[in-house]
């Protein structure tokens, strides 16, 4: 009994190492005594000897299978080891003994959080815990969960319950803050939904009034939107019907013998082939072609490998398509500008000849990406004149793509949670800034990847322990997006980072003004008011090391949260060498490639003035010409920030009048004061576990003030301080090394401290 009392005393005093030593010295580790084994298991758990603790509690479970506390302790061990499947099994066994055990239910919630369970699963578990024992902490956890998942109305109700039950304390104070924020956001969502409902009803009514399709054109009704197609096909239909009536009324021969050929442009995944098939069916319905027949062709089936083969292949496809539709996908591949002897040109010439000679006998539909198709039609002067109708299929809207994703998921017996939909949209918007955005194809790939991630996440769990909802619900984490901050939280976080920067008072004021302008602009757009789209491009003026790059990245984060830049987190930093090539034609290619890499985000051009090096700098002038054009073409999808010294940047702007009309925001970054540079140094010390006293700081300020370039253009500011800091640290290291070689005993504080002699020695 004395040994048990001694172990208890160690445990009460939390002297875990002494307790472990006592057990091992007295050979109690193999004891069969239940109480000793239980205390020993606890001691080894507290000392992170999880395997030993696990062995002891497994032994206790064997001899005491109905003791719920041992299953709970095993679950705690498995959680500590991150063996979550085993933890769930132990918790499940404990709940079989007592389903209302508070500790077991709290552990289950802990595991669910760690394994990224769905919002609904976490919510249900918290509600169960509250039924067992309502506590201020659990209510607040539920309140936070609802707020983070933007369930603001439910959050308001739970907050109200907390404020009704409890009157004072830190949790009550935090609850009041969440309550007020949730209430505002719930009201804002209601207002927004009502506005959107009214707008949607108006649009739907307008669409119903604008286009009423006759029976023969019903295949078009399955397409969402695509009003251009509907209008143009309706125009052809009306023309044909009019000619029929005119012929009957006047008794004249039908004079309608024109070719009807179509261009369809659009990004991948917009349904160009599907639309072409629907058009073939419609053309057959209205008598434009003899039968509902669509013959597909591409470069591979038309272009031969030797002289004469291309003409033969193309003629064969045309013969096959007579009376129907010849559909040529990716038609732009028939023309290769860099290969004048390519047989693709022959296919184009044969096609043009037959479209003229066999007018009215078949319909040609060519399809491809818009930019490439524009180049394709420039390849032959007579080509564009043969096509009467040009239809562009726009990219799907976010709402349409989410519906497509839900359909894809449902086909595989999955659903997508609200958080999952937001994560999906974030992924979509990251890709949307890319050229040739792949629409439905992208969505299918994202859903398939999410299902794979879901399987990998769930394979570590016991399927028997999962409910039906957990087995079918794709959540945020499955789309490789962490539970993200709300736009308001992201803006607040970014502004805090901006305001925490040392100095830069004027910069902060200017940035805040720019952001306010953009906030109001976005609100006006949402309200349906007329808006002049502001230019996003900026110019940063100032010496190096004044925080230009940091501020640019913060602006990007805020613009992304506002929905202004889809990829505000994309930041491409570059200089003249990234733009300018070494031979004719290379500069334009490099510049366009650079712009493409930054689309949706920020292109930050450091020392931008170096792009212009006088009238004889042809390559630099070419880069500027291409840059200005791309800045205009992508004005709503790209922010270009040009940084440099004031005089040099003025020269750059005067080199091309296009710059000034595209850049309407200039932010000046003034040099830091001595006091601000000292604050930057102190911040570096803190982040590097270094200290410096008042005398050292005074010596440092004198050193900085006497730097030869302190008041000249090009002074490095923050960068200069970084260089000084590294020199001081090296001097400190040299001093300490010498002291150690003299067998001097140094404390932790000695190893951290920068002495005045370290400053004076640099």
Provide DSSP, 182-234: HHHHHHHHHHHHHHHHHHHHHHHHHHHHH----GGGGGGGGSSS-HHHHHHHH
CATH assignment of the domain containing 142: 1.25.40.10
* CA–CA separation, 300 and 320 (whole Å): 16
- Give the end of a domain, one of 132, 166, 184: 184
Is 145 within the bounds of a domain? Answer: yes
Q: Which helix (H) or strand (E) holds 639?
A: strand 639-644
pLDDT at 268: 82
Question: What is the pLDDT confidence band of residue 208, given thresholds at 50, 70 and 90?
Answer: very low
365 and 461, same structural domain?
A: no
DSSP alpha helix (H) spans, 258-343: 272-286, 299-302, 309-321
For residues 624 and 592, the answer to whether their CB atoms sit within 8 Å is no
Specify the pLDDT at position 661.
81
Element (H, E) at 404: helix 398-411
Q: Residue 226: pLDDT band by 50, 70, 90 thresholds?
A: low
Report the distance separating Cα 472 and Cα 451, nearest Å.
10
* Residue 361 Cα to chain centre, angstroms: 50
225: left (phi > 0), else alpha (psi -120 to 50), else beta?
Answer: left
Q: For the chain, what is the mean pLDDT?
A: 85
- Token pair, residue 723, equals 């260089």
The answer to whether residue 405 is domain-embedded is yes
652 and 727 share one domain: no
CA–CA separation, 406 and 417 (whole Å)? 10
Query: Where do we find the tokens 């080894």?
Result: 44
Local structure of 750: helix, strand or coil: helix
Task: Say what the pLDDT of residue 479 is.
Answer: 85
We report the CATH number of the domain holding residue 553 as: 3.40.50.300
| Contacting residues for 3 by C-beta, under 8 A, at least 6 apart | 22, 26, 28, 36
The answer to whether the Cα torsion of 372, 376, 381, 385 is positive or negative is negative
Mean pLDDT of 4-17: 87
Quote the pLDDT of residue 206. 43
**295, 322 contact by CB (below 8 A):** no
CATH number of the domain where residue 691 is located:
1.10.8.60
- pLDDT mean over 216-234: 72
Is the whole-model pTM more than 0.75?
Answer: no
pLDDT for the residue numbered 734: 92
Tell me the two tokens of residue 337: 């500008």
Say what the pLDDT of residue 255 is: 52
Number of Cβ within 10 Å of residue 443's Cβ equals 26
Give residue 436's pLDDT band: very low, low, confident or very high (50, 70, 90).
low
pLDDT of residue 465: 62
Strand partners, 642: 539, 605
Stretch 3-32: mean pLDDT, rounded?
84
Q: Does 53 map to a domain?
A: yes
Choice between 554 and 468, residue whose per-residue pLDDT is larger: 554
- In the numeric block, the tokens 């499955």 are attached to 478
Residue 363, helix vs strand vs coil? strand
- Same-domain check for residues 634 and 707: no
Asked if the model's pLDDT at residue 254 lies above 70, the reply is no
DSSP E strand stretches across 384-457: 389-392, 415-416
**Is residue 198 in a domain?**
no
Question: What are the residues whose beta carbons fall under 8 Å from the beta carbon of 109, sequence distance 6 or more?
Answer: 122, 125, 126, 129
Q: Which pLDDT does position 328 carry in this prediction? A: 94
In a shared domain, residues 420 and 532: no
pLDDT at 657 over 90: no
Does a structural domain hold residue 430? Answer: yes
8-state DSSP, 463: G
How far apart CA 296 and CA 302 sit, in angstroms, is: 11
Q: Based on the domain organization, do 402 and 359 belong to the same domain?
A: no
pLDDT attached to residue 267: 84
Is residue 614 in some structural domain? Answer: yes
* pLDDT score for 210: 46
Residue 245 CA to residue 237 CA, distance in Å, equals: 13
* Interatomic CA distance for residues 514 and 491, integer angstroms: 13
**What pLDDT, on a 0 to 100 scale, did the predictor assign at position 209?**
45
- What does the pLDDT read at residue 397? 82
**Total domain count, the chain:** 5
Do residues 611 and 579 touch, judged by C-beta distance below 8 A? yes
Burial class of residue 96 in the structure, from the number of CB atoms within 10 Å of its CB (0-12 exposed, 13-18 middle, 19+ buried): exposed
Looking at residue 472, its pLDDT comes to 83
DSSP string, 167-185: -SSHHHHHHHHHHHHHHHH
732 and 623, same structural domain? no
Q: Are residues 348 and 418 in the same domain?
A: no
**Among 337, 364, 390, residue at a domain's last position:** 390
Instruction: Label residue 434 exposed, middle or buried (CB < 10 Å: 0-12, 13-18, 19+).
Output: middle
Nearest to 668 by CA among 537, 532, 506, 535: 506
Mean pLDDT of 162-176: 88
CA distance 4 to 22: 11
More confident residue, 214 or 607: 607
3-state SS, residue 23: helix
Pairing of strands 665-669, 639-644: unpaired
Q: Which residue in this structure is represented by tokens 């290291």?
A: 733
Task: Specify whether 10 is located in the same domain as 85.
Answer: yes
Question: What is the separation, in whole angstroms, between the first and last Cα of the chain?
Answer: 69
- Strand-pairing partners, residue 327, are 296, 365
512 lies in the same domain as 368: no
pLDDT tens for residues 522-577?
788 777 777 777 788 999 998 888 889 999 999 998 888 888 888 888 899 999 99
Domain match, 681 and 646 both: no
Band of pLDDT at residue 704, cut at 50, 70 and 90:
confident
**Whether residue 77 sits in one domain with residue 180:** yes
CB half-sphere exposure, 407, CA atoms < 13 A: 10
Digit-coded pLDDT (tens) for 358-395 = 888 999 999 998 888 888 888 777 788 888 888 888 87
Residue 228 lies in a domain: no
Nearest CA to 548 out of 569, 573, 568, 565 is that of 573
Task: Please say if the pLDDT value at position 486 is more than 80.
Answer: no
pLDDT in tens, 123-168: 999 999 999 998 999 999 999 999 988 899 999 999 998 888 888 8
Task: Convert 210-232 to b/e letters by CB count within 10 Å (16 or more is b).
Answer: eeeeeebbebbeeeeebeebbeb
Report percent pLDDT > 70 for the chain. Answer: 93
Please enumerate in sequence order all residues whose Cβ is within 8 A of that of 564, keeping only pairs 6 or more positions apart, or say none.
Answer: 518, 522, 536
Can you tell me the distance from the alpha carbon of 42 to that of 8, in angstroms, rounded to the nearest whole number? 11
| Burial environment of residue 721 by CB neighbours within 10 A (0 to 12, 13 to 18, 19 or more) | buried
pLDDT in tens, 307-316: 889 999 999 9
User: Coil, strand or helix: which one is 117?
Assistant: coil
Q: Are residues 9 and 75 in the same domain?
A: yes
Domain range for residue 42?
1-184
Q: Show which of 653, 668, 683 is a domain's final residue.
A: 668
Has residue 410 been placed in a domain?
yes
User: What is the mean predicted confidence (pLDDT) over 311-322?
Assistant: 94
């Amino acid at each position: 009994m004395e040994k048990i009392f001694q172990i208890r005393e160690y445990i009460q005093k939390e002297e875990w190492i002494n307790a472990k030593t006592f057990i091992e010295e007295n050979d109690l580790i193999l004891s069969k005594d239940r109480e000793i084994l239980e205390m020993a298991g606890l001691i080894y758990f507290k000392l992170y000897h999880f395997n030993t603790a696990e062995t002891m509690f497994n032994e206790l479970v064997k001899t005491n299978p109905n003791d719920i506390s041992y299953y709970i302790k095993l679950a705690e061990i498995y959680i500590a080891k991150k063996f979550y499947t085993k933890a769930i099994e132990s918790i499940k066994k404990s709940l079989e003994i007592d389903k209302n055990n508070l500790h077991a239910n709290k552990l289950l919630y802990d595991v669910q959080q760690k394994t990224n369970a769905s919002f609904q699963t976490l919510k249900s578990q918290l509600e169960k815990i509250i039924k067992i024992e309502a506590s201020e902490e659990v209510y607040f956890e539920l309140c936070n969960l609802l707020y983070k998942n933007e369930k603001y109305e439910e959050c308001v109700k739970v907050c109200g319950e907390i404020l009704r039950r409890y009157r004072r304390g830190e949790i009550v104070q935090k609850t009041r803050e969440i309550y007020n924020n949730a209430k505002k956001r719930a009201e804002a969502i209601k207002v927004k939904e009502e506005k959107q409902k009214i707008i949607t009803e108006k649009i739907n009514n307008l669409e119903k009034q604008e286009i009423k399709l006759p029976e023969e054109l019903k295949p078009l009704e399955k397409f969402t939107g695509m009003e251009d197609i509907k209008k143009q096909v309706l125009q052809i239909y009306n023309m044909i019907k009019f000619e029929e009536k005119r012929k009957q009324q006047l008794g004249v021969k039908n004079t309608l013998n024109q070719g009807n050929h179509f261009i369809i442009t659009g990004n991948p995944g917009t349904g160009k082939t599907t639309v072409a098939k629907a058009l073939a069916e419609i053309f057959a319905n209205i008598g434009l072609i003899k039968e509902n027949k669509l013959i597909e062709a591409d470069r591979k089936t038309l272009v031969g490998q030797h002289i004469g083969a291309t003409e033969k292949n193309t003629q064969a496809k045309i013969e096959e398509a007579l009376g129907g539709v010849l559909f040529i996908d990716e038609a732009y591949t028939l023309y290769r500008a860099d290969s004048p002897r390519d047989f693709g040109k022959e296919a184009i010439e044969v096609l043009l000849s037959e479209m003229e000679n066999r007018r009215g006998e078949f319909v040609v539909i060519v399809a491809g990406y818009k930019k490439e198709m524009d180049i394709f039609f420039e390849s032959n002067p007579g080509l564009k004149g043969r096509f009467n109708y040009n239809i562009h299929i726009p990219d799907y809207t976010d709402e349409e793509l989410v519906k497509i994703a839900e359909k894809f998921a449902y086909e595989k017996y999955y659903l997508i949670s609200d958080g999952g939909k937001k994560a999906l949209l974030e992924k979509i918007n990251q890709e949307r800034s890319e050229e040739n955005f792949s629409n439905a194809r992208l969505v299918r790939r994202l859903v398939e990847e999410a299902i794979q991630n879901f399987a990998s996440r769930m394979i570590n769990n016991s399927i028997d322990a999962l409910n039906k909802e957990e087995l079918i619900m794709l959540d945020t984490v499955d789309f490789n997006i962490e539970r993200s901050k709300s736009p308001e939280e992201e803006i607040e976080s970014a502004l805090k980072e901006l305001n925490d920067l040392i100095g830069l008072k004027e910069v902060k004021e200017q940035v805040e003004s720019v952001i306010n302008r953009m906030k109001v602009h976005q609100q006006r757009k949402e309200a349906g008011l007329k808006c002049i789209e502001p230019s996003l491009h900026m110019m940063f003026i100032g010496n190096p090391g004044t925080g230009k790059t940091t501020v640019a990245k913060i602006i990007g984060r805020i613009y992304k949260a506002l929905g202004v830049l889809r990829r505000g987190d994309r930041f491409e930093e570059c200089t003249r060498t990234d733009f300018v090539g070494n031979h004719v034609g290379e500069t334009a290619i490099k510049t366009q490639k650079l712009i493409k890499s930054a689309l949706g985000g920020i292109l930050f051009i450091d020392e931008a003035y170096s792009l212009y090096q006088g009238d004889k700098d042809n390559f630099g002038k070419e880069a500027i010409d291409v840059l200005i054009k791309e800045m205009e073409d992508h004005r709503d999808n790209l922010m270009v920030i040009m940084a440099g010294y004031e005089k040099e940047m003025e020269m750059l702007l005067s080199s091309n009048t296009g710059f000034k009309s595209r850049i309407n925001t200039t932010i000046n970054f003034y040099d830091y004061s001595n006091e601000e540079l000292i604050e930057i140094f102190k911040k570096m010390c803190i982040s590097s576990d270094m200290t410096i006293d008042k005398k050292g700081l005074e010596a440092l300020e004198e050193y900085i003030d006497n730097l030869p370039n302190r008041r000249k253009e090009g002074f490095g500011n923050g960068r200069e301080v970084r260089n000084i800091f590294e020199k001081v640290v090296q001097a400190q290291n040299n001093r300490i090394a010498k002291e150690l070689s003299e067998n001097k005993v140094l404390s932790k504080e000695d190893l951290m401290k920068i002495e005045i002699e370290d400053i004076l020695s640099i």
